[in-house]
């Protein structure tokens, strides 16, 4: 079964050419809810599999687990995200806590100290600052490299308390030490924030995300490592699904995670372009974009759209209304599939000078295919062959 049915006057050769060129550029699929975006994406993914092309699906809802012939990494089941890959600010963002300058600074210090304890001192437990000489501390710091980012997230709260150590307040003060006593007043002032952070990091979703309670004997892979492996070695199984549905009630956390994973994909490609094209898929992408234009440049979705093409990385995004996407991002798309859209303003804002058939009258699964340099074509999206068996 071909993925798309064209109108009868389009020759087979034209159909084949248009279907093939769908994957040459970034592709945006738009349409109101229930118009067929996810189904179309699944159809296109099946087509990519037939063409032996690689795809990575970042799946925040778990909808793509029904796609056959995939390797699936489900956050919480067989993969986790290394907390050490997050800066203090990102860690707070991942748990959706408002960023307080004092806490960011203490958290930054606590993360470094736990990294020292885990990777340099090589012992379990927290890194004790009471009585530790500044010279020893600096000696450890010099040894901390990029390779040593891993640490025990479960100890963050305890370590944060340790960050409030200060010299003695009287003549016993020894300024060659990191600290001699706890600044209890400062701890009490920061207490509500400390408790809020502990509550977030202690919740099941985040303990699972960061694999806080590692169980010996269970095999979990780190997500950045999974991506690296997948992008380096073209395997027989070319569709990777990263299921982030564990965090489906934490949209802000998913937004951060998706952005970081996309940046990792870009980094891998920049370091070593393994020479095969990769399609990256995100459904309902507008949910995972920053709310304001200023933050767009730092977002992984935007960066991949802008930088990806020359690295053979293409994006397939879906969204209900093109108006939900910032204009700077919309303009990155040369190809579109437009399902039913009721509001003429939505049609009007689409990139390119398309004269679309009346998108408000499209039935479910019907669409206009707008390929760069071609007239829009009315098409019907065919369900993939495995669909019925799956229903």
Ligand X SMILES: Nc1ncnc2c1ncn2[C@@H]1O[C@H](COP(=O)(O)OP(=O)(O)OP(=O)(O)O)[C@@H](O)[C@H]1O
388 binds ligand X (CB under 6 A): no
Q: Which residues contact 154 (CB under 8 A, 6 or more apart)?
A: 207, 212, 213
* Shortest distance in whole angstroms from residue 320 CB to Mg ion: 8
Residue 365 binds which entry of ligand X, Mg ion, none, CB below 5-8 Å type-dependent: ligand X
381 binds ligand X (CB under 6 A): yes
49 binds ligand X (CB under 6 A): no
Residue from the set 19, 22, 23, 35 that interacts with ligand X by CB under 6 A:
35
Residue nearest to ligand X (CB): 365
Q: Which stretch binds Mg ion (CB under 5 A): 36-44, 299-307, 309-317, 370-378?
A: 36-44
Check: CB of residue 314 under 8 Å from CB of residue 27.
yes
Element (H, E) at 254: helix 251-271
CA distance 102 to 313: 40
Q: Between β-strands 335-338 and 4-6, what pairing exists: parallel, antiparallel or unpaired?
A: unpaired
Distance set, CA 235 to CA 71, 157, 229, 377 (Å): 10, 42, 10, 35
Nearer to ligand X by C-beta: 13 or 391?
Answer: 391
38 binds Mg ion (CB under 5 A): yes
Phi and psi dihedrals of 193, rounded to 5? Answer: -70, -40
* Shortest distance in whole angstroms from residue 382 CB to ligand X: 7
Q: Which stretch binds ligand X (CB under 6 A): 29-37, 66-74, 216-224, 285-293?
A: 29-37
Residue 39 binds which entry of ligand X, Mg ion, none, CB below 5-8 Å type-dependent: ligand X
* Shortest distance in whole angstroms from residue 137 CB to ligand X: 52
- The torsion defined by the Cα of 233, 235, 239 and 243, in degrees rounded to 10, comes to -60
Check: CB of residue 155 under 8 Å from CB of residue 114.
yes
Interaction site with ligand X (CB under 6 A):
31, 33-39, 320, 364-365, 381, 383
* Residues binding Mg ion (CB under 5 A): 37-38
């Amino acid at each position: 079964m071909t993925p798309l049915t064209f109108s009868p006057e389009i020759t087979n050769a034209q159909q084949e050419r248009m279907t093939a060129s769908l994957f040459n550029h970034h592709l945006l699929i738009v349409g109101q809810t229930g118009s067929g975006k996810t189904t179309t994406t699944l159809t296109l993914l099946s087509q990519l599999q037939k063409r032996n092309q690689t795809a990575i699906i970042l799946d925040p809802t778990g909808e793509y687990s029904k796609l056959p012939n995939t390797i699936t990494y489900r956050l919480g089941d067989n993969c986790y995200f290394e907390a050490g890959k997050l800066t203090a600010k990102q860690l707070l963002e991942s748990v959706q806590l408002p960023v307080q300058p004092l806490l960011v600074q203490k958290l930054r210090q606590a993360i470094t100290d736990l990294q020292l304890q885990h990777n340099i001192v090589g012992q379990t437990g927290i890194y004790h600052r009471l009585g530790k000489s500044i010279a020893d501390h600096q000696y450890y710091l010099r040894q901390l490299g990029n390779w040593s980012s891993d640490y025990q997230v479960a100890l963050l709260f305890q370590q944060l308390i340790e960050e409030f150590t200060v010299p003695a307040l009287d003549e016993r003060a020894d300024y060659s030490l990191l600290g001699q006593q706890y600044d209890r007043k400062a701890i009490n002032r920061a207490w509500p924030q400390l408790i809020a952070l502990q509550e977030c990091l202690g919740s099941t979703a985040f303990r699972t995300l960061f694999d806080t309670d590692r169980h010996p004997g269970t095999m979990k892979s780190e997500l950045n490592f999974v991506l690296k492996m997948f992008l380096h070695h073209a395997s027989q199984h070319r569709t990777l699904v990263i299921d982030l549905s564990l965090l489906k009630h934490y949209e802000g956390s998913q937004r951060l995670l998706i952005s970081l994973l996309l940046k990792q994909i870009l980094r891998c490609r920049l370091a070593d372009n393994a020479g095969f094209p990769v399609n990256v898929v995100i459904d309902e992408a507008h949910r995972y974009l920053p709310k304001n234009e200023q933050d767009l440049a730092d977002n992984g979705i935007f960066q991949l759209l802008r930088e990806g093409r020359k690295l053979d990385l293409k994006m397939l995004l879906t969204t209900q209304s093109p108006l939900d996407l910032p204009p700077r991002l919309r303009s990155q798309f040369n190809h579109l599939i437009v399902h039913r859209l009721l509001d003429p303003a939505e049609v009007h804002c689409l990139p390119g000078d398309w004269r679309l058939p009346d998108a408000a009258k499209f039935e479910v699964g019907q669409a206009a295919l707008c390929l760069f340099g071609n007239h829009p074509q009315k098409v019907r999206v065919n369900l993939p062959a495995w669909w019925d068996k799956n229903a």
